[in-house]
């Protein structure tokens, strides 16, 4: 869905909802009776971070209390091998809190060359049911200034490390995707915002507060946000002159990228494309 501008930013077209690129088209059922295709060339299989396909290994990072005087808020820090300096990332958990899947993903980003701090917005707590998750989300959302201050502290910690270049991005999924956007609008001193199916805004005057290119990956079979909401967000970004790389993937639903292993036949190809876009975006905005 959407084309490419001369600047290379992908745009979501509100009038067009045939979003799937050619590699993701479903094979017609009629081919099931045709001659068997050649054996799959596994050497060309897409590479994905181990965390999102459920193959995260033993955790390699360490817990970190990055808020002064707060021993409950416990992030997770993963550092690349070598001396650096490296660009850095703050990654923001989903509605159930800082779980091992996000910690494993921090390790994967460290393997890609980013000092990565998985933030904790729930003061060390996690949810084990939808009701518990929503209670934690509501509590956090009741004090948005505290969430922004939390992430500002995470960025300040990273920028203060001698092995960090000084360029830091923020990224989140679901609840964390919406928080990443809020942080892009109201936080300070960071250079990238990546949103995976999080709460959006559609007011050009609001999104004009963004001072860097925005990345977004979304799902067609999702109501939070819906494709229509994504299109309205894109229109606001365009009206405000904010560079962006947004894409809606067909045939997948909410949460598809962080949990490819829940439905690998459907999720692998779009997740791989989103991963390649994300790596290119981080290279553009944060450098290697």
Q: Is 163 helix (H, G, I), strand (E, B) or coil?
A: coil
How far apart CA 92 and CA 71 sit, in angstroms, is: 19
16 contacts 1 by C-beta, under 8 angstroms: yes
Kindly report, residue by residue over 18-48, the tens digit of the pLDDT.
Answer: 333 323 222 222 322 333 333 344 345 568 9
Which of 237, 247, 251 lies closest to 276 in space, CA to CA?
247
CA atoms within 13 A on the CB side of 219: 24
pLDDT at 280 > cutoff 50: yes
Q: How many CB atoms lie within 10 A of CB 223?
A: 11
211 contacts 169 by C-beta, under 8 angstroms: no
- Identify the helix (H) or strand (E) that includes residue 157: helix 144-159
Average pLDDT, the chain: 87
Kindly report, residue by residue over 77-115, the tens digit of the pLDDT.
Answer: 999 999 989 999 999 999 999 999 999 999 999 999 999
Domain boundaries, the chain: 48-286
Kindly report, residue by residue over 62-82, the tens digit of the pLDDT.
Answer: 999 999 999 999 999 999 999
Report the relative pairing of strands 214-221 and 244-253 from DSSP bridges: parallel
Which phi and psi (to 5°) does residue 43 adopt? -65, -20
Kindly report, residue by residue over 160-169, the tens digit of the pLDDT.
Answer: 999 999 999 9
CATH architecture of 48-286: 3-Layer(aba) Sandwich (3.40)
Helices (H) and strands (E) in the chain, counts: 7, 8
What pTM does this model have?
A: 0.85
Kindly report, residue by residue over 201-243, the tens digit of the pLDDT.
Answer: 999 999 999 999 999 999 999 999 999 999 999 999 999 999 9
How far apart CA 150 and CA 85 sit, in angstroms, is: 24
Q: What's the pLDDT score for residue 20?
A: 32
- Identify the helix (H) or strand (E) that includes residue 131: helix 130-141
């Amino acid at each position: 869905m959407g084309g490419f501008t001369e600047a290379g930013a992908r745009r979501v077209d509100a009038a067009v909802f045939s979003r799937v690129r050619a590699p993701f088209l479903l094979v017609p059922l009629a081919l099931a009776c045709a001659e068997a295709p050649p054996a799959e060339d596994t050497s060309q299989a897409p590479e994905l971070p181990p965390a999102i396909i459920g193959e995260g290994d033993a955790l390699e990072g360490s817990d970190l209390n990055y808020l002064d005087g707060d021993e409950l808020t416990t992030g997770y820090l993963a550092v690349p091998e070598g001396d650096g300096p490296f660009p850095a990332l703050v990654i923001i958990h989903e509605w159930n809190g800082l779980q091992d899947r996000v910690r494993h993903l921090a390790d994967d980003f460290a393997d890609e060359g980013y000092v990565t701090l998985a933030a904790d917005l729930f003061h060390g707590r996690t949810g084990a049911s939808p009701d518990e998750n929503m209670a934690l989300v509501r509590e956090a959302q009741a004090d948005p200034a505290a969430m922004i201050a939390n992430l500002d502290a995470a960025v300040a910690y990273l920028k203060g490390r001698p092995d960090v270049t000084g360029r830091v991005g923020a990224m989140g999924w679901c609840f964390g995707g919406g928080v990443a956007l809020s942080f892009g609008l109201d936080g300070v001193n960071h250079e990238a915002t990546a949103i995976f199916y999080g709460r959006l805004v559609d007011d050009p005057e609001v999104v004009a507060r963004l001072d860097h290119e925005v990345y977004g990956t979304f799902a067609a079979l999702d109501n939070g946000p819906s494709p229509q909401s994504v299109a309205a967000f894109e229109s606001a970004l365009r009206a405000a002159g904010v560079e962006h790389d947004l894409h809606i993937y067909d045939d997948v639903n909410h949460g598809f990228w962080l949990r490819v292993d829940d439905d690998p036949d459907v999720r692998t190809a779009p997740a791989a494309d989103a991963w390649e876009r994300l790596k290119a975006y981080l290279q553009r905005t944060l450098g290697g």
